[in-house]
Structure 1
Amino acid sequence: MADKVIITCAVTGGAHTPTMSDALPVTPAEIAEQGIAAVNAGAAILHLHARIPENGMPTGDPDVYAQFLPVLKQRTDAVINLTTGGSATMPVAERLLAATKFHPEMCSLNMGSINFAFFDVAKRIKSWKHEWEKDYVVNSDDYIFRNTFRDIAYILETMKDAGTRFEHECYDVGHLYNLAHFVDRGLVEPPFFIQMIFGILGGIGPDLENLMFMKATADRLFGRESFQWSVLAAGRHQMPFLTQAALMGGHVRVGLEDSLFIERGKFATSNAQQVEKIVRILREMGREPASPAEARQMLGLKGGDRVEF
């Protein structure tokens, strides 16, 4: 499967707010609709957060997830990947509620604590759709996205019996070493999936030299045969970084969680539009999107018939 690329689509996330883009899905119906369209466009994995339908605030409430997970399972064959990050303001217990109830094939797992800031966006917004949004964004200069060694071990151990595997999100080089620590402890076993993240204020910067260094560090720590790797980049860096990652043999992640744009200065109209664009870029390189079945094989997943939704 050397020519196959796993496309993950991060449908809504927990950082962007409804005021920032009319395309951002908020309600369960919108999340399901955009998720289905993204899979039809070529995504193999859907990375999912939930939001309070009335105002778009991030939530860990399993009852909200339950309104769109069965729809996605029935209407797609996608790998469902639930967040254990939620948002930087959620305690770990809330972040795990949906994962522990639904036992998905995959969950995201941030591999270390970081500052996680997006307060600069507030300077460009004069009016907000919902009361919570402004304080949420402005106060992000004081957010610490907590993921201690104890937190990470707790999440790994809690989900072990469910057979759930992880998208190990690495926002900096030190997170790769944190992952190596858990591999040494036997809490993470190959084949594991590393998501390298660039351009978040508080994480490693969006410089191509950093991409090369992160990949070389992962090769040195784990050996090339132990892991699959993917790249996401925030905002305007999304497509250039994904193109470079694909040239290097990596997988890619798009979606309105990571960038609200389709090109410089132009908002994306949907998640599917971003998937369609990266599919075109990949095919120009002679690479093809992996199917959900191929992604399951590459990542050693348990299968969509063994989830609890």
Structure 2
Amino acid sequence: MGRKVIITCAVTGAIHTPTMSPHLPLTPAQIAEQAIEAAEAGAAILHLHARDPVDGRPSADPVLFMQFLPQIKAATNAVINITSGGSTKMTLEERLAPPLMAKPEMASLNMGSMNFSIHPAAKKIKNWVHEWEKPYVEGTEDTIFRNTFRDISRILQELGEGCGTKFEFECYDVGHLYNLASFVDAGLIKPPFLIQTIFGILGGIGPDPDNVAFMRQTANRLFGNDYQWSVLGAGRHQMPLATYGAIMGANVRVGLEDSLFLGRGELAKTNAEQVRKIRRILEELSLQIATPDEARALLGLKGAQAVAF
């Protein structure tokens, strides 16, 4: 007890659509405002996607990223983490364009291809704000997120070695931990590194406490003390699994990318509300919140002065 816990906040993502919550940040100004507020609330790392400001669809346009990245950097000391996953509809070249342009301290990296679906959510919505939303959500029933071993190697080489960026390794199932281990064994990934274990996405491992423990045990067996562990629970599992993980030694991730709610039936109005809630829980457990610079030290990051924005 008394250790430092890194809070990551995933501000908007590419999963939820505007109809699902009026509070989802869509424009560069909204993304910047909510990211800055989340950092002020205690998030050491900001995980960022971009949206088309006209209709809110996910975007990989580097121009849009540059409309909020400098503003966030100027207003906070938070570690800026840019997605390399984008959305299931994007090519690898599209997904890599923003982080290769920005050369951030961190980027996310999905550790394998997978079925990634939110199609059941479409049955709960009758009136959509934008025409693209319903086919986008329903279409995930027949969509595969692709990250082959060759794709991962390319990202590690071009973004990691080429830009000095380190990664939030997103592991949606136990096989992803073994994928990660193969790259560590090959010398393409060097410690310390952050493993983000993700629970509750349809297509990935389920949101059960036993699964959290199993992923932790597997990571310990594969990586020993070379990694920092973090837990992400999707949807209604966000706060319970983050709390359970923290008790077991994990860092945590919250944000409107992962859940639109603050509590049962209560939409979160901002990302900062979720950050403040998990911070209260952590502090009640006598855990300390890591500052951005403490997160940098734990993860061996290059520092904000070495980014390209």
Q: Calculate the TM-score normalised by the size of structure 2.
A: 0.99
- Give 1:179's aligned residue: 180
CA deviation map 1:146-166 (0-9, x unaligned): 011011001001111211000
- Give 2:210's aligned residue: 209
What is the 5 A alignment of 1:2-13? Answer: 3-13=3-13
Indicate the SS of the match to 1:161: helix
Indicate the SS of the match to 2:132: helix
Q: Distance in 2 between matches of 1:173 and 1:36?
A: 33
CA deviation map 1:157-196 (0-9, x unaligned): 1111211000000000000000000001111000011000
CA drift of 1:264 comes to 1.2
What residue ranges of structure 1 are gaps of 5+ in the alignment? none
CA drift of 1:289 comes to 1.2
For 1:235, the aligned partner's letter is G
For the Cα contact (< 8 Å) 2:2–2:286, is it kept in 1?
A: no
> Which runs of at least 4 in structure 1 moved beyond 2 Å after TM superposition?
none
Q: Distance in 1 between matches of 2:277 and 2:97?
A: 34
Q: Distance in 2 between matches of 1:126 and 1:42?
A: 37
CA deviation map 1:223-260 (0-9, x unaligned): 1x200010001100000000011101110000000000
Q: Is 1:42 aligned to residue 42 of structure 2?
A: yes
Aligned residues: 308
- Give 1:161's aligned residue: 162
Q: Is 1:305 aligned to residue 309 of structure 2?
A: no
- Give 2:273's aligned residue: 273
- Give 2:118's aligned residue: 118
For the Cα contact (< 8 Å) 2:7–2:251, is it kept in 1?
A: yes
- Give 1:99's aligned residue: 99
- Give 1:108's aligned residue: 108
Indicate the SS of the match to 1:80: strand
In percent, how many aligned pairs have the same letter? 63
Q: Distance in 2 between matches of 1:153 and 1:171?
A: 18
Q: Distance in 2 between matches of 1:3 and 1:231?
A: 16
Q: Distance in 2 between matches of 1:229 and 1:119?
A: 29
- Give 1:196's aligned residue: 197
- Give 1:59's aligned residue: 59
Q: Distance in 1 between matches of 2:190 and 2:89?
A: 30
CA drift of 1:265 comes to 1.4
For 1:60, the aligned partner's letter is A
What is the 5 A alignment of 1:67-78? Answer: 67-78=67-78
For the Cα contact (< 8 Å) 2:104–2:307, is it kept in 1?
A: yes
Q: Calculate the TM-score normalised by the size of structure 1.
A: 0.99
Q: Distance in 2 between matches of 1:290 and 1:169?
A: 20
For the Cα contact (< 8 Å) 2:38–2:275, is it kept in 1?
A: yes
Q: Distance in 2 between matches of 1:297 and 1:236?
A: 32
CA drift of 1:2 comes to 5.7
Moved more, 262-271 or 299-308: 262-271
- Give 1:148's aligned residue: 148
Indicate the SS of the match to 1:72: helix
For the Cα contact (< 8 Å) 2:2–2:288, is it kept in 1?
A: no
- Give 2:222's aligned residue: 221
CA drift of 1:3 comes to 1.3
Q: Distance in 2 between matches of 1:241 and 1:143?
A: 27
